[in-house]
């Protein structure tokens, strides 16, 4: 099951507690948006799910995060397997300084030795098609990925991720560098992708959360204040703090 169950999750950077007793269930093949002011811990939470916080010095985690029946906090998961299964899209589109083709096959080449040319070609076509870039780019696969527009780059990064066949996509403010039209098209893509993937998106943009997500979590100062169906949260938040934030009264 490609869902994520979080229980009693605490995380410290040195003495600073960035996540306080977080508990939530991120359902399979739905989009869950995490909202909240800067520094509330939503990106940190996202980075727990693929253990990217491991690279931060002095980080400590306690609690349970169950993915695929395995507790990824205490069970010492195989990080390569975990990260193949739980992929991440970053805030800034960050293709490698390689060709479009090489960008997409990078993950597969690293994971599987000796793939044939036609197998790789197929992966490239499938991945680019699923982010709706194939028709645009099929004749330019040898061009540098850095020559693409920002939106194309971000799509390419999603395609690069899909090429390693994950089940869960973590998106850390994937549209923050894009203009409104491009943002709209990426949101369109996310709705498309949720048929096959569990998506968790961190966003500053409340309209985006309201438009695109099935579930929403509101975080404040490391706590998960409220978590539920998006329409419930935006129509009638139970917590005063959530209401203040989504109505724009939060400082």
Partner 1 sequence: MSNTQRSQKIAFFFLFLATLLILVPVGLIVVVIVQKGLPAINWQFLSDIPRQGMRAGGIFPAIIGTFYLVFGAILFALPIGLLAAIYLSEYAGNNPLNRIIKLAIVNLAGVPSVVYGLFGLALFVVFLRFGASILSGSLTLGIMILPIIITTAREALESVPQSFREVSLSLGASKWQTIRHIVLPNAIPGILTGTILGLGRAAGETAPILFTVAAFYLPRLPKSIFDQVMALPYHLYVISTQVPNVEEKIRYGTALVLLSLVLFMNLVAIIIRYNFRKRKKW
- Based on its alpha-carbon atoms, the radius of gyration of the chain, rounded to whole angstroms, reads 18
The nearer residue to partner 1, 1 or 80, going by C-beta atoms, is 80
Site for partner 1 in 112-151 (CB under 8 A): 144, 146
3-state secondary structure of 198: strand
Chosen residue from 97, 180, 248, 251 binding partner 1 by CB under 8 A: 97
* Residues binding partner 1: number (CB under 8 A): 29
3-state secondary structure of 162: helix
Distance CA 95, CA 230 (A): 32
Site for partner 1 in 63-82 (CB under 8 A): 79-82
CA dihedral over 69, 131, 146, 174, signed as positive or negative:
negative
3-state secondary structure of 176: coil
Chain centroid to Cα 111, Å, comes to 21
Interacting span for partner 1 (CB under 8 A) from 48-56, 116-124, 200-208, 243-251: 48-56
Interacting span for partner 1 (CB under 8 A) from 96-104, 123-131, 197-205, 236-244: 96-104
The nearer residue to partner 1, 66 or 146, going by C-beta atoms, is 146
Distance CA 191, CA 106 (A): 26
55 binds partner 1 (CB under 8 A): yes
3-state secondary structure of 190: helix
Are 31 and 195 a contacting pair, CB within 8 Å?
no
Smallest gap from residue 24 Cβ to partner 1 (A): 22
Smallest gap from residue 86 Cβ to partner 1 (A): 9
Smallest gap from residue 91 Cβ to partner 1 (A): 10
Distance CA 133, CA 148 (A): 11
110 binds partner 1 (CB under 8 A): yes
Footprint on this chain of partner 1 (rule: CB under 8 A): 50, 52, 55, 57, 79-84, 87-88, 90, 92, 94, 96-98, 106-107, 109-111, 144, 146, 157, 160-161, 164
């Amino acid at each position: 099951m490609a869902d994520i169950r979080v229980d009693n999750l605490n995380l410290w950077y040195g003495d600073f507690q960035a996540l306080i007793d977080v508990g939530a269930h991120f359902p399979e093949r739905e989009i869950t948006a995490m909202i909240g002011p800067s520094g509330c811990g939503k990106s940190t939470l996202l980075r727990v799910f693929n253990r990217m916080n491991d690279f931060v010095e002095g980080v400590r985690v306690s609690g349970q995060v169950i993915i695929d029946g395995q507790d990824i906090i205490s069970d010492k998961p195989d990080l390569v397997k975990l990260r193949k299964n739980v992929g991440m899209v970053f805030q800034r589109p960050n293709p490698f300084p390689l060709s479009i083709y090489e960008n997409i096959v990078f993950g597969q080449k690293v994971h599987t030795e000796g793939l044939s040319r036609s197998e790789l070609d197929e992966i490239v076509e499938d991945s680019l098609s699923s982010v709706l870039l194939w028709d645009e780019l099929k004749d330019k696969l040898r061009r540098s990925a850095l020559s693409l527009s920002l939106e194309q780059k971000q799509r390419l990064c999603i395609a690069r991720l899909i090429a390693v066949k994950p089940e869960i996509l973590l998106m850390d403010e994937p549209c923050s560098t894009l203009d409104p039209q491009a943002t709209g098209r990426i949101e369109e893509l996310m709705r498309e992708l949720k048929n096959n993937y569990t998506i968790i998106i961190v966003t500053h943009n409340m309209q985006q959360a309201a438009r695109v997500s099935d579930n929403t979590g509101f975080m404040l100062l490391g706590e998960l204040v409220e978590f539920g169906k998006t329409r419930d949260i935006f129509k009638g938040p139970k917590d005063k703090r959530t209401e203040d934030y989504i109505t724009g009264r939060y400082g």
